[in-house]
Structure 1
């Protein structure tokens, strides 16, 4: 055991590691527990834009929450951006300063940009209107904000881990938090249940994407989206023509593009083109007009080939992001956590700034509580106190009606259809009835696996993700590998073989 006072954090992404470093700097003893590996979830798969121009996020916040909350959000993101860029410079981690753009290609998108520009002006973000971009297709308008940044997220995480170890903290990979007890009294430490045994802690910070404790019902207040990213090497004659700015569309389907500098020792001046988008609610690709998950990836590939002919794909991956029903991130004490469990989630694809903002807010709150130092920033207090408005309640009601419809409909379909006698083809998965129970069967790398098709979190029927060869829950976005290992989401256990 480490000497007390001891802080545990669950999740070794940008939020968990930044919080840990800030607490370790103040002399706290900190351990970060990571279920998989450092950066395995959202942070390691982000496009890593460190920008105050965030698509149409600001106008969405203004519409749902008003100008005071909008200003708090921008103030927090501005402070987080400044902290992060200073940290990168201090630790010698490379970043590229770029101009950020949000663009539209339709009249509807242009209208959304005009509303976003008004929100930027209301919050002091100095975005400018332009109709000239580096994109190889016409636009109906664009917003631009100079001197933003892009980074390599894993380089940042490595710097944070290095500093945490320098200050006596630890990271324990392959250790999943599965529960917490002892939250009813402030004078006794928490008991943190993990796959490696029981641990004792004074405080626990949950920075796990979706909180793995259901207290507070965050699983019902968040909507999880899966989006895809591809990187390409452009033909030699086109390399100087790739856009240097960071671009994000205001229209649907979403598109994000930026370039990725190659490491030293490669072709001088060559950069890869990164293209992302085709997002959909986790487990519900068909509800967004895609015949399958792979169809969403194929759409992204086709779009790239249309606008950047001859591009050769080098890598492909996906990321999972959570949007809060409040339109702003959740950060603060977990309800029914006895004041010793804290949560940060709902970054809506802008974790590079929101994750750091949450870390600044939570570490300050913890230090003020325990040491009498620190103290919550005004912007942080506003965000922590943000309540559900009528608009966000309607959004949450709509989302949960869709969840209920999937729960009932998917169970009905699983019970109606028996499993086929033959195993699925390579890379395919199917759900059906076997011995009166929903069973999931897939074939990957020649191995056929049979598992329970019921998500252990809240009983959703899983769907097959043919792009990533995983089982995804359309209710609250837990994901499992083809052989049942938990990948992410609010579930805390693996899939079991059918009984």
Structure 2
């Protein structure tokens, strides 16, 4: 599976890697590269360390909506936070949007102006949610309108519409950020996984190959922090959502997201040679907690086939993002990081604006010039409903952990490898062992997450091992893909490995 945006040659990394920088940024997505560029512009020496390739995480798999109307985000946040915090959140996103679009205009990165739409698919609960978002957005100063007749072929009962938002190809942005970063003396190293950060006067970053890099500051821009200090893995919920790209002669020129479940995201895009394309997404879920990921993709295909019969599928992919208990991203110094380690997480699928806002915030904090809108957002006082949500999130983790260890079959791994694209889990003693077959290659791994020991579940859409506890994901061969885990899966005893 590959996103429409990643269907191109990867952006190359730099071979050079010094042992000392002013700033070490971990993660080459929109947050990390924007932060790195801003710091490099200030005359600092900067390196970005990326475990896989540039854009491998959420940015390369986004739907690319640069919008202040974000589904039902504002009305939901008002349930968990004070009005002043939600106002600051909106201001931060407005600043992030403005910076990103100025950057695109300055450097000839293409984008399209579109109306953003939060719509109700029917007159049920979704209509109440869409109307609540309209009222929340209006009260917060957004110039939204209510519309009950949209130029789309699928049912809708009403929608909040915000004019003058934008959409883009996120990899175009990352490519230009890398180019600008290098022009200001910065470096980007790919295939360099960070496994630890220790303090010896200043932070020391340890890589999986044994290399150590020292920085005056370290910025963790990795989706969820890969260091457990602050326990952010327990404060956010990892979610996957899906997207399909289609060749289509006349996709709606709108950026749409449904209110209620199942979610449906719709936008147009430009394909090869400027050909019109339709993007359909949604049907998300908590990582590793569904029977079949492929079923979610099939539901999107079925929905698209019903309402866009002329659509011809070209790409299918999924993305992972993290939501906080109260809707506010976590941005700032990492607890017990000595004031030199920073993080940004919890964008709740709205990274195009939040990533840049976080970069502006983090850079300001590092340079001693924090934006006026930033500090109140992060001095959050969670309402009781937010405290209850943290409890529910972690109760779900406990249930997932108990279920994983309780239902894994007490038997030896199968003697015969599964059919291609499939996997099976058995036990060697008390250890679950997973055996998979992907593209004719059989692999065996200890199917236990190296982060906190959750029993892994096979993702039948992406041929990966996913952890239902905190969202770590591993390739069929055991290498870390994403999440708080930094160590690859262990190998089973020799007698239980595939020859």
- Per the normalisation by structure 1, the TM-score is 0.93
Q: 2:14 aligns to what?
A: none
Aligned positions of 1:46-61 closer than 5 A:
46-61=62-77
Give me the CA root mean square deviation.
1.4
Within a 5 Å distance, the mapping from 1:25-40 to structure 2 comes to: 25-40=41-56
Greater Cα shift, 432-441 or 35-44: 432-441
**Corresponding position of 1:75:** 91
Count of aligned residue pairs for this structure pair: 475
Does the residue aligned with 2:309 lie in a helix, a strand or coil?
A: coil
Q: Deviations over 1:391-446 (max 9, x none)?
A: 11111111111110111111111253543332211101121212442101111111
Distance 1:377 1:492 in 2: 32
Which residue number in structure 2 is paired with residue 99 of structure 1? 115
For residues 196-207 of structure 1, the aligned pairs below 5 Å read 196=209, 197-207=211-221
Give the corresponding residue for 1:250: 259
Equivalent residue for 2:225, pick from 211, 215, 224 = 211
Runs (5+) with no aligned partner, structure 1: 287-291, 369-374
Query: How far 1:338 sits from its partner (Å)?
Result: 0.4
**Aligned residue among 202, 216, 232 for 1:189:** 202
**d(CA) in 2 for partners of 1:436, 1:143:** 53
From 269, 275, 279, the equivalent of 2:280 is 275
- Structure 1 residue 123 corresponds to structure 2 residue 140: yes
Counterpart Cα distance in 1 of 2:144 and 2:395: 37
Partners of 2:183 and 2:371 in 1: CA distance: 27
**Conserved? CA contact 2:331–2:362, under 8 Å:** yes
- 1:372 paired residue number: none
1:171 matched to 2:188: yes
Is 1:327–1:392's contact at 8 Å kept on the other side of the alignment? no
Determine which of 438, 441, 447 is the counterpart of 1:444.
Answer: 438
Provide the rounded CA distance (Å) in 1 between the counterparts of 2:317 and 2:155: 28
Match of 1:289 in 2: none
* Runs of 4+ displaced beyond 6 Å: none
1:35–1:174 Cα contact (<8 Å) kept: yes
**Structure 2 equivalent of residue 382 of structure 1:** 376
Indicate the residue corresponding to 1:221 in structure 2: 235
Instruction: Provide the secondary structure at the position in 2 that maps to 1:420.
Output: coil
Mapped to 1, the partners of 2:401 and 2:435 lie a distance apart of: 19
Q: Indicate conservation of the 8 Å contact 1:20/1:32, yes or no.
A: yes
The answer to whether residue 14 in structure 2 is matched with residue 14 in structure 1 is: no
Aligned residue number for residue 496 of structure 2: none
Normalising by structure 2, we get a TM-score of 0.93
| Superposition deviation, residue 4 in structure 1 | 6.5
1:388 partner SS: coil
Instruction: Summarize the alignment of residues 327-366 of structure 1 with structure 2, pairs less than 5 Å apart.
Output: 327-366=327-366
SS of equivalent to 2:373:
helix
Does residue 1:143 correspond to 2:160, yes or no? yes
Please give the secondary structure, in 1, of the residue aligned with 2:408: helix
Confirm or deny that 1:261 pairs with 2:270: yes
- Structure 2 unaligned segments of length 5 or more: list them: 1-16, 494-499
Change (3 A) 1:417 1:86: same
